[in-house]
Structure 1
């Protein structure tokens, strides 16, 4: 049984829906906690081993307001996260070609810069072609858990 923290970055609720679906599914076999307002001080990242970041992109590639403090703390700090394995579920809109899933990419980059190890591929979900992003996330989560 794994201890998994799901960090949510959302503006409209789609990333929250994905996180809740993953929590329900993974929670059948693992201890899962969803953090809707993830902040570095409260997450106790030093004791975490597995993270899933569900992050939507809004505007012209911006991070959701609720995850900016975590992103900035990791970017500006020097925390060693090499003990963490993580996965990224990025949500975006392909009509914004230049910034598609940019917030998820930014979160991926900041965790990698702190030494965390991404497991598997980053899942990028297009809101234009996938109206139910949680379905794609469930398939991705099975692969993610098998690669841990």
Structure 2
């Protein structure tokens, strides 16, 4: 059983919808799940955690959602030792914007790796143009991801 913290970066609510769906379903597979969204996402305490799942959208010109910027800045500036942490990333984007597709998820992925966290599995990139139900795609991916923890 894993104790999973889902960190949500969201502007329009799609990443939050995915995180909530995971929070509703992953405990049934024997995992404890906590969701940090809205104001909580930027201030999460990563000490004492063993598994983190970042679920973030990209908005504007490839920017991070406002609520996750404080966490990204903290990781960038302080570069804490996260070698104790396993993580995964679910990135939501729109391939219409090819140059910035899932850029926020890619950025968070790079920041966690730079701090020494151990990535589990491949990053899931969900395209809003082709996937009308991102929460179902996220759950399908996460059900496999948790088996690797």
TM-score under structure 2 length normalisation: 0.95
1:44 is aligned to 45
Question: What is the CA–CA distance in structure 2 between the aligned matches of 1:147 and 1:96, rounded to whole Å?
Answer: 32
Deviation of 1:78 after TM superposition, in Å, equals: 2.7
2:7 is aligned to 7
Residues 92-103 of structure 1 mapped to structure 2, 5 A cutoff? 92-103=93-104
Question: What is the CA–CA distance in structure 1 between the aligned matches of 2:77 and 2:42, rounded to whole Å?
Answer: 14
Q: What SS does the aligned partner of 1:129 have?
A: coil
The unaligned stretches of length 5 or more in structure 1 are none
Q: Deviations over 1:66-88 (max 9, x none)?
A: 00000000011031001100110
Question: What is the CA–CA distance in structure 2 between the aligned matches of 1:93 and 1:39, rounded to whole Å?
Answer: 24
Q: Deviations over 1:5-29 (max 9, x none)?
A: 0000000000000000011111222
Question: What is the CA–CA distance in structure 2 between the aligned matches of 1:49 and 1:59, rounded to whole Å?
Answer: 32
Question: For this pair of structures, how many residues does the alignment match?
Answer: 146
Q: What SS does the aligned partner of 1:62 have?
A: coil
2:60 is aligned to 59
Deviation of 1:143 after TM superposition, in Å, equals: 1.3
The unaligned stretches of length 5 or more in structure 2 are none
Question: What is the CA–CA distance in structure 2 between the aligned matches of 1:4 and 1:142, rounded to whole Å?
Answer: 13
